Structure 1
Amino acid sequence: MAQDRQAETAPDTGAEVARHAAKMARIKAARDRMMATKTGEKGLIIVHTGPGKGKSSSGFGMILRAVAHGMPCAVVQFIKGAWDTGERRLLTTHFANLCQFHAMGEGFTWETQDRDRDIAAARAGWEKAKELIRDPAIRLVLLDEINIALRYDYLDLTEVLEFLAEEKPPLTHVVLTGRNAKPELIDLADLVTEMTMVKHPFRAGVKAQPGVEF
């Protein structure tokens, strides 16, 4: 066993080093050829969906990237408006000059228990979203949990799709998060990621915790 471990950790011979270098050189050349063909630039429609954790977290990660590049951006929250989240604190306290933050929701649908109120909040959020997306100075807009509003028909799906297809400025990125993204939205999008839930502490009785969930 000791000899086996020594064999596993022994330094590569000169021939092995040369083979590895040649292999990596071939991969790099192929990669460079592929990258040379990717010269297009456009504002993307990006969807983060699925039952797993990380949809909003990924969207806010993109917002922070935009901030780091000095790109004006904006967030419209359709559901979690009443939550005191870490993302909201950070952006409104330190980066308000680069990122507008609009919390339009009033909580999850089972908390409000008022469909008309939920629809009104979703409509107000969508009107603000359209205003922000139309502004060519804003480079990235995060529509957090809009997929939930679309799932429950609080917003008209056709209206949302037509606006994104016809009125979004060419270089503006729009990120739409939430479970159960509509198939039509997935078809329209340029980039779609589905988060898969493998294991979650909530099922073991662990509550949502600051810094992880909000």
Structure 2
Amino acid sequence: MSADSERHAMKMAKKKAARDKIMATKTDEKGLIVIHTGKGKGKSSAAFGMIFRHIAHDMQCAVVQFIKGGMSTGERDLILGKFSDICSFHTMGEGFTWETQDRDRDTEMAQAAWEKAKELIRDESNKMVLLDEINIALRYDYIDVNDVVTFLVEEKPPMTHVVMTGRNAKDDLIEIADLVTEMELVKHPFRSGVKAQIGVEF
């Protein structure tokens, strides 16, 4: 073994020992409150990645879409077509707010979505519930953030994961979350005149 390789091996051995020591202290399990927010792309995609992990592990889960309307998306079509027995999927919104232009209707639909979300979260057979674009509904005050925070703190079963997506996550929600990721926009093809494409955006 060369001197460089030996030094590298020793360095990695020290790193592994330190890592193993840290990992030995991580013994708790709990249902997490997870938020994907920020202006960057990938919030829902990351959340659906977790849903597909649950499906792969044969764990019951559910999705509630707060804003996106009836448009076909790869995630929804795949789940409804092949995994509806293990993942219930509820598209409750009627489209993006700038398309509907009807605040009363949007509020009514968001409230119905929140009621469905609470029902699914209370059902302990669901190991994960994804609330897709709930942050948008909260941003426009279609739902009261205090109601969401109170419910998650007081009623969420201890081993149920709840994942929430959408820009502009409210501070009160971030405060009670266990994991918050902010997607940062560095570059986006839309700014160069490229439209949303199948397999990338939907």
Question: TM-score scaled by structure 1?
Answer: 0.93
Pairing of 1:125-136 with structure 2 (within 5 A): 125-136=113-124
Cα drift, residue 168 of structure 1: 0.3
| Number of aligned residue pairs | 202
Does residue 94 of structure 2 align to residue 106 of structure 1? yes
State the 1:25 CA deviation: 0.8
Q: How does 1:114-125 map to 2 (within 5 A)?
A: 114-125=102-113
Of all paired residues, the percent bearing the same amino acid is 70
Which of 75, 79, 93 is the aligned partner of 2:63?
A: 75
Counterpart CA distance in 2 for 1:78 and 1:16 is 55
Aligned to 1:154: 142
Question: Does residue 87 of the first structure (1) align with residue 68 of the second (2)?
Answer: no
Give the superposition deviation at 1:18. Answer: 1.5
Indicate if the aligned counterparts of 2:69 and 2:96 stay in contact, CA closer than 8 A. Answer: no
Task: Please list the CA deviations of residues 40-71 of structure 1 after superposition, one character each: whole Å capped at 9, or x if unmatched.
Answer: 00000000000000000001011001111111
SS at match of 1:70: coil
**C-alpha separation between the residues in 2 aligned to 1:14 and 1:109?**
63
Give unpaired runs (5+ residues) of structure 1: 1-12
1:55 to 43, 46, 56: 43
Aligned match of 2:188: 200
Q: Distance in 2 between matches of 1:118 and 1:153?
A: 10
State how far apart, in whole Å, the 2-side matches of 1:24 and 1:86 are.
41
Aligned equivalents of 2:12, 2:196: Cα separation in 1:
44
- Bigger radius of gyration: 1
Q: Distance in 2 between matches of 1:124 and 1:60?
A: 22
Q: Distance in 2 between matches of 1:59 and 1:16?
A: 41
Greater Cα offset, 75-84 or 191-200: 75-84
Q: Which runs of 4+ in 1 moved over 2 A?
A: none
What's the TM-score, normalizing by structure 2?
Answer: 0.99
Task: Identify the residue that residue 139 of structure 1 maps to in structure 2.
Answer: 127
Contact 2:62 2:130 survives alignment (8 Å): yes
- Which position in structure 1 is the counterpart of 2:2? 14
Aligned to 1:46: 34
Gaps of 5+ in 2: none
Q: CA deviation at 1:21?
A: 1.1
RMSD of aligned alpha carbons: 0.7
- SS of the equivalent of 1:31 reads helix
Distance in 2 between residues matched to 1:25 and 1:158, nearest whole Å: 48
Residue identity in the other structure for 1:14: S
Aligned partners of 2:66, 2:151: CA distance in 1, in Å?
17
Q: Deviations over 1:180-201 (max 9, x none)?
A: 0001111110000000011111
1:213 is aligned to 2:180? no
Note if 1:174 corresponds to 2:174.
no
1:149-170 deviations in Å (ceiling 9; x for gaps) = 0000000110000000010000
1:31 aligns with 2:19: yes
Amino acid across the alignment from 2:174: I
Give the drift of 1:17: 1.7
Query: Aligned residue for 2:151?
Result: 163
Letter matched to residue 207 of structure 1: K
- 1:56-107 deviations in whole A, cap 9, x for unaligned? 0001011001111111000000011322100000001011111000000000
